[in-house]
């Protein structure tokens, strides 16, 4: 909790975020959350701490809105999340939070009634933005291999949803203390009457954050948890459909040369092709399932990270005091 | 990417042509019998004429010789007919269900599978236009969709090739039956025509003509239709050549006989853009079955009364 009543949300430390090598940038730029894809070619480990935790929602928007003071200076229009800023601004008397997404209009549906719960909610239109290193993501990974540095054997490599290595999830500590999250250097005041946290955009537009981080190759990512889940379900249905209507009928074929009568010579090339088709169809069904699993894992990963962030922000709130 | 593979034929129902072949053989047999009856009827007159012509002890011999020569012609006709019929029974008839069954595999499996793939491919293509997820991960995800789509398209092409893999042999096998039916039916008509022909003083001429026609049928059946020489073998060779061509054996997307993995390491930059079909129905397939032996009645003159003349050294006059 800041002196201004803003609740601070932090990224999962040890995963990404405000590490020592980005502090300077944070000094100059808005605080942002970076996505580090553990499945890119280098792996999270080489990124000094593994995959980053994406901001599942505009940080700073958790907690009690009723305690917020008019940070943004835009009046009581609500709480404006700020993509990539890391610290959102809480509006006065907000009843609703304007989410920060690609459009900034969708909003975090769950927040109006779920402040402090950290949930993206399941409401349609939920969205969140988070910056990511532009070269980091590598697609959807095999969930079972969702560790930095591993090479997926199948499925999309998942864009790092910030799923942290289980051993590196730290307990958020008060900035400036010994371990855990490195001290976050907050830019000097650039918002009138504010805590010194620069808010790239008070309007909740993700585009602003993108602009601020563009120089670092950071880009904004927008995803809908629900749609991601639906996408996974879609592929699962495709896998089942393909298996039932393609792989199985093909697999059931077992011709012999006798079946070709006088055209026996035609059997061999047909059988060769049939065997290839059997393998392809089996592989395809498995691949579609793997894609589904990867997407499902990704959506779960987002949710998990969000929950982790929520928990972390709660602890920060408890300990208070990010220096400003 | 849309690629096409020419599918062999329409999926019209295909049935065993054995009943048609049997009918043709039955007609041919009836025609031969008509020739035999006509010749035997005419031969009575010839036998009497031979008896009248050669008096004395030679009279009976002359009649016997006359009739024996006629019987040889008739027997030859039937022997040739039986050869043809037996050839059908032993060599061709066992394959009567090959065409229909292969065709059923084509219609019930490959056509259906091809139809099932189409909406899946279309769906994947549609997903490539999703916009509810953006960012790095989405980009990489979206980058893989064309690969999966291309794989589905190529798989679909191979399904069509597999369909051709059974349908073309089915058509060819069926064409063999069609050719036999055509041949036997045509021979029956010809022989029937011989039966009604006035042969004047040429006895057993009809059966001789029939035997000659049947002999040509047997030769063609044995040496061409059953071996494929000059008939279906060329089309089959063309079919096999296509089935084993590099366009079939070397997949463009499904390389290594594996379905492409949707991983970052998958090369998404080399998707095929060509639309060349992997298989084209051999043009000769359509003409097989319409061919048949060019038969004629030959130059036999049957048996004449003069042929019954004594041939001993003492000589009959």
Query: What are the pLDDT digits (tens) for B79-88?
Result: 999 999 999 9
Domain identity same for A140 and A286: no
Q: How confident is the model at residue B219 (pLDDT cuts 50, 70, 90)?
A: very high
Instruction: Work out the average pLDDT over B61-72.
Output: 84
Q: Tens of pLDDT along B286-304?
A: 777 677 777 777 777 777 7
Number of domains composing chain B: 1
> Helices B112-127 & A225-242, crossing angle to 10 degrees?
170
Please give the pLDDT value at position A314.
64
B87 vs A: CB within 8 A? no
Domain identity same for A152 and A234: no
Q: Is residue B192 part of a domain?
A: yes
Please give the pLDDT value at position A303.
64
Please give the pLDDT value at position A196.
28
Do the chains contact at B169 and A260, CB–CB below 8 Å? yes
Q: What percent of chain A has pLDDT over 70?
A: 23
Domain identity same for A123 and A72: yes
Domain identity same for A271 and A201: no
Spell out which residues of chain B touch residue A157, defining contact as CB-CB under 8 Å.
140, 263-264
Q: How confident is the model at residue A95 (pLDDT cuts 50, 70, 90)?
A: very low
Please give the pLDDT value at position B273.
65
Half-sphere exposure of B23 (CA within 13 A, CB side): 9
Please give the pLDDT value at position B168.
96
**Candidate ranges A285-294, B166-175, B268-277; pick with highest mean pLDDT:** B166-175
- CA A185 to mean position of chain CA atoms: 24
Which of A138, A242, A259 shows the shortest C-beta gap to B102?
A259
B141 vs A: CB within 8 A? yes
For residue B83, which of B275, B230, B211, B273 has the smallest C-alpha distance? B211
Dist. CA A18–CA A84, nearest whole Å: 12
Instruction: Work out the average pLDDT over A307-323.
Output: 60
For residues A235 and A109, the answer to whether their CB atoms sit within 8 Å is no
Domain identity same for A72 and A183: yes
Looking up tokens 């944070």, which residue turns up?
Answer: A26
Check residues A205 and A282 and name the one with the higher pLDDT. Answer: A282
- A219 forms bridges with which residues in the sheet? A132
Q: Is residue B9 part of a domain?
A: no
User: Can you tell me whether residue A21 is helix, strand or coil?
Assistant: helix
H-run or E-run covering A221: strand A218-223
ipTM rounded to 2 decimals:
0.88
pLDDT at A167 over 80: no
A289 vs B: CB within 8 A? no
Q: Tens of pLDDT along A2-47?
A: 444 444 444 444 444 444 444 333 333 333 333 334 344 343 334 4
Please give the pLDDT value at position A225.
75
Q: Is residue A13 part of a domain?
A: no
pLDDT at A99 over 70: no
Q: Is residue A2 part of a domain?
A: no
Q: Is residue B13 part of a domain?
A: no
pTM assigned to the model: 0.62
B111 vs A: CB within 8 A? no
Instruction: Work out the average pLDDT over B174-191.
Output: 94
pLDDT at A241 over 90: yes
Domain identity same for A160 and A31: yes
Which of B155, B166, B257 shows the shortest C-beta gap to A270?
B166
What's the domain range around A288?
230-292
Secondary structure (H, E, C), A52-86? CCCCCCCCCCCCCHHHCCCCCCCCCCCEECCCCCC
Q: What angle do CA B226, B227, B232 make, to 5 degrees?
A: 90
Q: Tens of pLDDT along B114-125?
A: 999 999 999 988
Instruction: Work out the average pLDDT over A199-206.
Output: 30
Backbone angles phi, psi at A155, to 5 degrees: 80, 170
Domain identity same for A116 and A244: no
Number of domains composing chain A: 2
Do the chains contact at B140 and A157, CB–CB below 8 Å? yes
pLDDT at A294 over 90: no
Which of B105, B240, B263 shows the shortest C-beta gap to A157?
B263
In this structure, of A222-231, B103-112, B145-154, the range with the lowest mean pLDDT score is A222-231
B10 vs A: CB within 8 A? no
Which of A140, A241, A263 shows the shortest C-beta gap to B173?
A263
Domain identity same for A54 and A186: yes
Q: What percent of chain A has pLDDT over 90?
A: 17
How confident is the prediction for chain A on average, in pLDDT? 50
B244 vs A: CB within 8 A? yes
Do the chains contact at B127 and A234, CB–CB below 8 Å? yes
Question: Which DSSP symbol is given to A97?
Answer: E
What's the domain range around B302?
18-306
pLDDT at A298 over 80: no
Question: Which DSSP symbol is given to B203?
Answer: B
Parallel, antiparallel, or unpaired for β A218-223 and A79-80? unpaired
B159 vs A: CB within 8 A? yes
- Which region holds residue A321: left if phi is over 0, alpha if psi is between -120 and 50, else beta? left
A157 vs B: CB within 8 A? yes
Domain identity same for A51 and A163: yes
Question: What are A24's two structure tokens?
Answer: 């300077």
User: Can you tell me whether residue B271 is helix, strand or coil?
Assistant: coil
Spell out which residues of chain B touch residue A284, defining contact as CB-CB under 8 Å.
151-152, 155, 259
Dist. CA B71–CA B239, nearest whole Å: 48
Rg (Cα) of chain B, in Å, rounded? 32
A194 vs B: CB within 8 A? no
Question: What are A291's two structure tokens?
Answer: 């894609």
Domain identity same for A73 and A172: yes
Q: Is residue B317 part of a domain?
A: no
Please give the pLDDT value at position B34.
96
Dist. CA B45–CA B50, nearest whole Å: 9
B257 vs A: CB within 8 A? yes
For residue B265, which of A296, A235, A134, A39 has the smallest C-alpha distance? A39
Please give the pLDDT value at position B275.
63
Spell out which residues of chain B touch residue A231, defining contact as CB-CB under 8 Å.
127, 130, 133
Q: Is residue B313 part of a domain?
A: no
Spell out which residues of chain B touch residue A293, defining contact as CB-CB under 8 Å.
none
Task: Tell me how close the Cα of A225 comes to any Cα of chain B, in angstroms.
Answer: 9
Q: How many Cβ pairs within 8 Å bridge chains A and B?
A: 205
- CA A198 to mean position of chain CA atoms: 23
pLDDT at A98 over 90: no
Do the chains contact at A223 and B135, CB–CB below 8 Å? yes
Q: Is residue B297 part of a domain?
A: yes
pLDDT at A157 over 60: no
Please give the pLDDT value at position A199.
26
Do the chains contact at B176 and A250, CB–CB below 8 Å? no
Cβ-based neighbours of A298, under 8 Å, separated by 6 or more:
A140, A158, A159, A161, A228, A232, B137
Cβ-based neighbours of B89, under 8 Å, separated by 6 or more:
none
Which of B101, B136, B240 shows the shortest C-beta gap to A134?
B136
Please give the pLDDT value at position A230.
83
């Amino acid at each position: 909790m800041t002196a201004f009543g803003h609740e601070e949300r932090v990224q999962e430390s040890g995963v990404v975020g405000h590490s020592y090598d980005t502090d300077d940038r944070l000094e100059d730029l808005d605080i942002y959350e970076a996505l580090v894809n553990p499945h890119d070619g280098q792996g999270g480990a080489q990124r000094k701490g593994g995959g980053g935790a994406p901001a599942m929602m505009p940080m700073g928007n958790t907690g009690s809105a009723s305690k917020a003071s008019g940070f943004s200076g835009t009046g009581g229009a609500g709480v404006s999340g700020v993509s990539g800023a890391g610290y959102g601004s809480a509006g006065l008397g907000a009843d609703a939070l304007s989410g920060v997404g690609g459009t900034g209009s969708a909003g975090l549906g769950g927040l109006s009634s779920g402040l402090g719960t950290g949930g993206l909610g399941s409401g349609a239109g939920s969205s969140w933005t988070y910056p990511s290193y532009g070269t980091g993501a590598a697609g959807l990974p095999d969930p079972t291999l969702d560790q930095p540095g591993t090479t997926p054997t199948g499925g999309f490599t998942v864009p790092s949803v910030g799923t942290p290595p289980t051993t590196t999830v730290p307990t958020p500590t008060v900035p400036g203390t010994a371990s855990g999250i490195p001290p976050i250097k907050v830019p000097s005041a650039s918002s009138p009457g504010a805590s010194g946290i620069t808010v790239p955009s008070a309007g909740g537009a993700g585009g602003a954050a993108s602009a601020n981080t563009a120089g670092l190759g950071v880009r904004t990512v927008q995803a809908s948890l629900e749609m991601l889940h639906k996408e996974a379900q879609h592929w699962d249905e495709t896998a089942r459909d393909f298996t039932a209507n393609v792989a199985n009928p093909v697999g059931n074929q077992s011709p012999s040369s006798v079946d070709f009568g006088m055209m026996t010579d035609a059997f061999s090339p047909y059988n060769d092709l049939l065997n290839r088709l059997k393998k392809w169809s089996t592989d395809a069904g498995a691949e579609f399932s793997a894609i589904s699993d990867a997407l499902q894992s990704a959506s779960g990963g987002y949710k998990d990270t969000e929950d982790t962030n929520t928990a972390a922000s709660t602890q920060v709130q408890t300990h208070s005091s990010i220096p400003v | 990417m849309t690629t096409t593979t020419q599918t062999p034929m329409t999926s019209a129902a295909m049935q065993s042509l054995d009943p048609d072949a049997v009918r043709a053989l039955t007609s041919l047999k009836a025609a031969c019998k008509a020739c035999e009856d006509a010749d035997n009827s005419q031969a009575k007159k010839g036998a009497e004429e031979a008896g009248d012509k050669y008096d004395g002890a030679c009279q009976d011999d002359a009649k016997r010789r006359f009739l024996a020569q006629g019987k040889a012609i008739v027997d030859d006709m039937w022997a040739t007919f039986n050869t043809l019929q037996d050839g059908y029974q032993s060599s061709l008839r066992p394959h009567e269900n090959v065409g229909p069954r292969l065709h059923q595999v084509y219609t019930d499996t490959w056509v259906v599978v091809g139809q099932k793939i189409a909406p899946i491919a279309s769906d994947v293509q549609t997903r490539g236009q999703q916009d509810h997820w953006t960012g790095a991960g989405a980009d990489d995800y979206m980058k893989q969709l064309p690969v999966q789509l291309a794989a589905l398209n190529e798989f679909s092409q191979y399904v069509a090739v597999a369909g051709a893999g059974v349908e073309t042999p089915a058509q060819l096998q069926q064409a063999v039956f069609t050719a036999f039916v055509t041949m036997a039916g045509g021979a029956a008509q010809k022989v029937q025509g011989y039966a009604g022909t006035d042969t004047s003083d040429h006895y057993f001429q009809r059966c001789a003509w029939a035997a000659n026609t049947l002999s040509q049928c047997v030769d063609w059946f044995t040496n061409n239709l059953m071996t494929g020489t000059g008939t279906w073998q060329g089309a089959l060779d063309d079919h096999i050549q296509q089935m084993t061509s590099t366009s079939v054996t070397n997949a463009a997307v499904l390389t290594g006989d594996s379905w492409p993995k949707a991983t970052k390491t998958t090369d998404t930059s080399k998707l095929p853009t060509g639309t060349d079909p992997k298989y084209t129905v051999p043009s000769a397939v359509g003409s097989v079955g319409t061919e048949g032996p060019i038969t004629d009645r030959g130059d036999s003159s049957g048996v004449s009364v003069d042929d019954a003349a004594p041939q001993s050294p003492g000589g009959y006059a």
